[in-house]
Amino acid sequence: MGERKTSLTVTVDPRLIAYAEQLVEAGKAPDVSAVINDALSEKVGRDALDRLRETAAQADPAKVDRMLAHIDRQAAAFPER
């Protein structure tokens, strides 16, 4: 289920645009917009993962270790596939 895309005007370093155009010419992207879109999506994903790691850093490590050990004990009761 895709989202409707929005047009925007941005200022980009010439070398980055040159690279994006190179990708399009090489057939690796349909157009420059797609390259920019992919790059931003990649950044959103990286930032999301960083956010998870920041949250995890607030945890109680000893408690998490106990929970992991408890999971392992329960999993040992199941046959590995």
If the CB atoms of residues 4 and 63 are measured against another protein, the closer one turns out to be 63
Where helices occur in 13-60 by DSSP H, the ranges are: 14-25, 32-56
Q: Does 52 participate in binding another protein (rule CB under 8 A)?
A: yes
Q: Does 5 participate in binding another protein (rule CB under 8 A)?
A: no
Contact in structure between 12 and 6 (CB atoms under 8 Å)? no
Q: Does 70 participate in binding another protein (rule CB under 8 A)?
A: yes
If the CB atoms of residues 28 and 43 are measured against another protein, the closer one turns out to be 43
Q: Does 61 participate in binding another protein (rule CB under 8 A)?
A: yes
Which of 39, 47, 33, 30 has the alpha carbon at shortest distance from 5? Answer: 33
